[in-house]
């Protein structure tokens, strides 16, 4: 199941019973805080959930398997998520 900001806002509205507009603002603000912390600090640790970290990927060469052409893959940043032990235990 994919989840988006609207579904999170609707779930907040159903569970807590506050207005949809306020739920949308809260959801947007929480995600903005998470985003800014990851950008500023390079990582975000949510206790009993997991951690997000920015990893720098070095440039490399890749090959298209269909036409065998070689392309340069530029350096980039990616976000890595590692779940906590308590989340893994809960899922299993």
Q: How far is CA 46 from the centre of its chain?
A: 12
Q: What pLDDT is stored for residue 62 in this prediction? A: 95
- Give pTM, 2 decimals: 0.74
Q: How far is CA 32 from the centre of its chain?
A: 12
Model confidence over 42-81: pLDDT tens digits? 999 999 999 999 999 999 999 999 999 999 999 999 999 9
How far is residue 79's CA from residue 39's CA, in Å, rounded to a whole number? 10
How far is residue 36's CA from residue 60's CA, in Å, rounded to a whole number? 29
3-state secondary structure of 7: helix
User: Which ranges in the chain belong to alpha helices (H)?
Assistant: 5-16, 20-41, 85-91
């Amino acid at each position: 199941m994919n989840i988006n900001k609207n579904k999170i806002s609707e779930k907040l509205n159903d569970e807590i019973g506050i207005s949809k507009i306020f739920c949308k603002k809260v959801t947007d603000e929480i995600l903005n805080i998470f985003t800014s912390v990851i950008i500023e600090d390079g990582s975000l640790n949510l206790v009993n959930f997991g951690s997000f970290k920015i990893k720098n990927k070095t440039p490399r060469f890749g090959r298209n398997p269909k036409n065998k052409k070689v392309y340069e893959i530029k350096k980039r940043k990616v976000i890595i998520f590692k779940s906590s032990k308590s989340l893994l235990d809960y899922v299993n």
